[in-house]
Amino acid sequence: MQAEAQSQFRKYQSTPLLKGTIRAFTFASKILPIWLMKISAFFIIPIFIVLNHKNFKYIMMNFSHIHPESGLIKRALSAYRVFLNYSFYLIDLFFLSHDAKRLKTYKIEISGEEYLDNLIKENSGFILLTLHMGNWEIASAVLSKKNVKSHVVYSPDSEGTIEYNRRALRKIFHVRDIPLNKGNFFSIRLLNTLRERGVVAFQGDRLMGDSGVEVKFFGRNALFPKGPVALGMVSGVPILPVFCTMKGFKEYVLSIEKPYYIETFPNRDETIRRALEDIVKIFERYVLQYAEQWYTFMPFWKNNET
């Protein structure tokens, strides 16, 4: 699994033309109705697919493992919907980054809220683990309403304007972010955050400099980051799997799973591997159900690049 999608679009997004286009979209998202922007996505996405044809092929390859019974046409349609849903995520991101009050126009159902409330009552830190799926930024915004001191661990986007909107959205909801940059001592910062009863949020399917651990995923080996589990092991805090998926126009479902408490074994590597195997089983359920909202634009399985 690659740490980041090698997109053809990334070759051109630093050019003045595309930088200007993204900035224009940022401005447009402040004044245009969101329904109009989402309708326009149906016409724009085919252009992005042409520019990212390799990534389109990689998504189809991933679907052959998630839904091996699906044919070529069905996998192609699913790959198109991945691009489309990702565009909807970006539109919501840009739209919400202008004003916190805009979130009130969204309908967000919460499943398993009692698990979150119980951890908050315990007044201890915990690790929030999600996937690159749906709209994880909305999940952070919902947590902020619970007065949870949350910190999002992220790898900065190669396009500064998109990253600016992500950070703007986190800022208006009082969500702090911790970039995974070399030399910023983020491991110590994360551990201190948990010890101060804070919440640290990770995407559990992004290596982001992590060497990873091979775990069976839909029957084949795939690399998953060991950092979140290692941090949970050292800090002694539970891991709370959370997933925010799109249900409809301005509608999301925030699914909160039962907290996972890491069982320790004499061997550190075995402790991490066994915990990852348990957590990846949860990931597998959500990817199977919401595969078209799983934004993985690279070959995810080992030896699956050809």
- 304 part of a folded domain: no
Q: Are strands 251-256 and 150-154 parallel, antiparallel or unpaired?
A: unpaired
Q: What span, in angstroms and rounded, lies between the C-alpha atoms of 97 and 100? A: 7
- 37 part of a folded domain: yes
Mean pLDDT for 136-152 is 76
Number of domains in the chain: 1
Condensed to tens digits (0 to 9), the pLDDT of residues 233-283 reads 999 999 999 999 999 999 999 999 999 999 988 899 999 999 999 999 999
- 229 part of a folded domain: yes
- 134 part of a folded domain: yes
Q: Which of 29-33, 176-180, 190-194 has the highest mean pLDDT?
A: 29-33
Structure token digits, residue 289: 């159900």
Structure token digits, residue 259: 């907290």
Please, which pLDDT band fits residue 190 given cuts at 50, 70 and 90?
Answer: confident
What pLDDT was estimated at residue 306? Answer: 45
Please, which pLDDT band fits residue 197 given cuts at 50, 70 and 90?
Answer: confident
Q: What span, in angstroms and rounded, lies between the C-alpha atoms of 290 and 126? A: 25
- The candidate with the shortest Cα–Cα distance to 75, out of 58, 88, 91, is 58
Three-class secondary structure of residue 294 per DSSP: strand
Q: What is the mean pLDDT of the chain?
A: 84
- 299 part of a folded domain: no
Q: What span, in angstroms and rounded, lies between the C-alpha atoms of 1 and 221? A: 10
Mean pLDDT for 205-218 is 85
Q: What span, in angstroms and rounded, lies between the C-alpha atoms of 206 and 226? A: 10
Q: How far is CA 153 from the centre of its chain?
A: 11
Owning domain of residue 231: 9-293
DSSP string, 20-56: HHHHHHHHHHHHS-HHHHHHHHHHHHHHHHHHTHHHH
Q: What span, in angstroms and rounded, lies between the C-alpha atoms of 190 and 7? A: 30
Q: What span, in angstroms and rounded, lies between the C-alpha atoms of 10 and 238? A: 37
Structure token digits, residue 119: 């951890």
Q: What span, in angstroms and rounded, lies between the C-alpha atoms of 282 and 133? A: 14
- 2 part of a folded domain: no
- 129 part of a folded domain: yes
Backbone φ and ψ of 256, nearest 5°: -115, 120
- 4 part of a folded domain: no
Q: What span, in angstroms and rounded, lies between the C-alpha atoms of 115 and 105? A: 26
What pLDDT was estimated at residue 181? Answer: 60
Structure token digits, residue 60: 């189809």
Q: Which of 8-17, 184-193, 210-219, 268-277 has the highest mean pLDDT?
A: 268-277
- Residue type (1 letter), 266: P
